[in-house]
A and B are shown apart, each in its own frame.
Chain A
Amino acid sequence: MTCLPEKTDKKLGLVIDLDICVGCQACVTSCKEWNTGGYSAPLSDFDPYGAEPDGAWLNRVHSYEIDNDHWKGTVHFPRSCLHCEDAACVTVCPTGASFKRAEDGIVLVNPDTCIGCKLCSWACPYGAREYDQDDGVMKKCTLCVDRIYNETLPEEDRQPACVRACPTGARAFGDLGDPASAVSQSVEDRGGFNLLEEFGYKPVNKYLPPRKGSDKAPDLPTAPAKTTGAPIEKLFAWADRALSR
């Protein structure tokens, strides 16, 4: 059913720290590796080593230069499905293949009923859904639904592959509907924000802004120290002149 749930018990999602992401693409490749064998399998590639490599990926990392009143500098920017509360990709789906789970808020595509009409990708402002031309269905981030509840995995691995792979700890996974959770706390402490807040689809995933550089200038001397006129200083001044000749 493509009507959205009134509310979800949990709001599972990611918090991505733009301050410490270094754009290494480890989350991108680990996502691809897990999900080409997981719920969304396969994630097809075409001509991967040729001139026009192409394929379905669920996570993409951009790099931007920012220069405005609030921020300056380079930011590496991971982009994947934000598991929106008002997910238009779900309501436009004509078949019911797209759905948002009432228990944890994860937005999924049922690969057995998707007809591959691509309308959901048109409805997503974040470009988060990709069409798999080999499989003929839409692919999107599953929040590694086949890892996070998977009791055959060691407990520390029961989180999304991208979070597990991040070498800098720029990605965190948790319940953003629980104000006491670690992810909600970090959003609270760091001023976490939504992408395209003005659009109003209420993304669950949050981004933490780059930390501001210090406003205080370093304490550097502006002029050489004044001379005292002592004989030793005169001697050094004479030596400097003599040696400079």
Chain B
Amino acid sequence: MHPAYSVILFTTSSGAGYGLLFWLSLAQIFGSTSHTHWSFFFTLALALALITLGLLASTFHLGHPERAWRALSQWRSSWLSREGVAAVATYVPAGLLALLSLFKLTTGLEPVLALLSAVGAVATVWCTGMIYASLRTIREWNVGLVPPIYLALSAASGGLLMGLATSLAGPGQVWLNVVIVLALATALALKLAYYRHIDNDEGKYTAAQALGMGTHGIRQIDPPHTRPNYVMREMGYDVARRHALRLRWLALLCLFAGPLALVLLGLVVGIPMPLIYLLSCVLAGVGLVFERWLFFAEATHVSMLYYGAARA
């Protein structure tokens, strides 16, 4: 599948934003935060800015961005529509929470708004994962692990941002470091299981099945057009296996090994945590972009059976 940069930016940026919103909301509910009014407000604003940046980026690949509001209408059948509805709904409690902290108002509603924000963040990221996982045409996406991976990566990247914001606001908190390490380790385990799964799945369908004529023995002798068309460019994107393996290592190192080692080192040796988390965020951001690029580039589409693919 063609890795559209707008979709990579959208899923990584808003994923991190929702993760940050989730952890900040939990901290608000349990009152276990070193945040002041202002640091809470700015952290929440950062989360909403990342989410908004991502959502705006997602409209860049549309043919008609001005009609994007229509995407909220088909939540009964479409995961993309459900994602849109969940994203818009999450703005309500999160926005109110931001307004209350901006004007230093205390209403007693904060824990409820925080709970709704956390639920909304989880729902939105789950819908994002389901957009891909529900597509039976793409075996690398049609995997039960995909939505949990989206959630875990969102929790891990948002957690690192939460670690940075919290350590800047005041003395570090043990629970947050534990949560971040656990989120990173969970996401790593899921991602490794995912790679093992897609590497062992050679594809159920053959070119002969695509033609409805037996199970094997098809060779394309004359394509329908002389140059690649939309279907080939969008669905037939191919990444060399050698490069894919290297990029996987790079993604896993930047996204998991680096931040895990840094956070543990910071806790043991006593390097200033803001520095640790800043480095970890940058590393994880790079790793996340590699991971998301590969998620698209390694995905194969059944329709390529008509264009010379033997299996899909």
Q: Are B222 and A62 in contact (CB under 8 A)?
A: yes
Q: How many residues of B contact A (CB 8 A)?
A: 61
Smallest CB gap from A194: residue in B: B212
Smallest CB gap from B132: residue in A: A122
1/0 per residue A80-93: CB within 8 Å of B? 00000000101111
Q: Are B81 and A127 in contact (CB under 8 A)?
A: no
Interface centre among B137, B218, B225 (most CB of A within 10 A): B137
**Complex interface: chain A residues within 8 A of B221 (CB):** 63-65, 74
Q: How many residues of A contact B (CB 8 A)?
A: 66
Q: Which stretch of A50-58, A155-163, A180-188, A226-234 is in the interface?
A: A50-58
Tell me, rounded to whole Å, the shortest Cβ–Cβ distance linking A189 to chain B.
Answer: 17
Q: Are B212 and A197 in contact (CB under 8 A)?
A: yes
Tell me, rounded to whole Å, the shortest Cβ–Cβ distance linking A105 to chain B.
Answer: 17
**Complex interface: chain A residues within 8 A of B134 (CB):** 92
Q: Quick one: which of B73, B212, B216 contacts A94, CB cutoff 8 A?
A: B73
Q: Which stretch of A5-13, A113-121, A169-177 is in the interface?
A: A113-121
Q: Are B74 and A116 in contact (CB under 8 A)?
A: no
Beyond A65-B218, A115-B68, whether A193 also contacts B303 by CB under 8 A is no
In chain A, positions 137-169 with a C-beta closer than 8 Å to chain B are: 137
Q: Quick one: which of B67, B131, B216 contacts A95, CB cutoff 8 A?
A: B67
**Complex interface: chain B residues within 8 A of A57 (CB):** 225, 229
Q: Are B213 and A116 in contact (CB under 8 A)?
A: no
Beyond A2-B78, A64-B221, A79-B306, whether A113 also contacts B67 by CB under 8 A is yes
Q: Does B84 contact A (CB under 8 A)?
A: yes
**Complex interface: chain B residues within 8 A of A115 (CB):** 62-65, 67-68, 70-71
Smallest CB gap from A70: residue in B: B214
Q: Are B231 and A95 in contact (CB under 8 A)?
A: no
Interface centre among B73, B138, B231 (most CB of A within 10 A): B231
Q: Are A54 and B227 in contact (CB under 8 A)?
A: yes
Beyond A115-B64, A195-B211, A196-B205, whether A126 also contacts B303 by CB under 8 A is yes
Q: Quick one: which of B135, B213, B228 contacts A123, CB cutoff 8 A?
A: B135
**Complex interface: chain A residues within 8 A of B61 (CB):** 117-118
Q: Are B78 and A196 in contact (CB under 8 A)?
A: no
**Complex interface: chain B residues within 8 A of A23 (CB):** 222
| Complex alpha-carbon distance, A135 and B64, angstroms | 9
**Complex interface: chain A residues within 8 A of B223 (CB):** 62
| Complex alpha-carbon distance, A79 and B220, angstroms | 14
Beyond A67-B217, A91-B77, A196-B209, whether A122 also contacts B222 by CB under 8 A is no
Question: Which residues of B are at the interface with A, using a C-beta cutoff of 8 A?
Answer: 1, 61-65, 67-68, 70-74, 76-81, 84, 131, 134-138, 204-205, 207-231, 234-235, 301-304, 306-307
Question: Which residues of A are at the interface with B, using a C-beta cutoff of 8 A?
Answer: 1-3, 23, 28, 52-57, 60-71, 74-75, 77, 79, 88, 90-97, 113-119, 121-127, 130-133, 135-137, 193-199, 207, 209
15 residue pairs of the A-B complex, CB under 8 angstroms, read: A2-B77, A60-B229, A62-B220, A64-B218, A66-B208, A115-B62, A117-B62, A125-B137, A131-B63, A136-B63, A195-B211, A196-B212, A196-B302, A198-B204, A199-B136
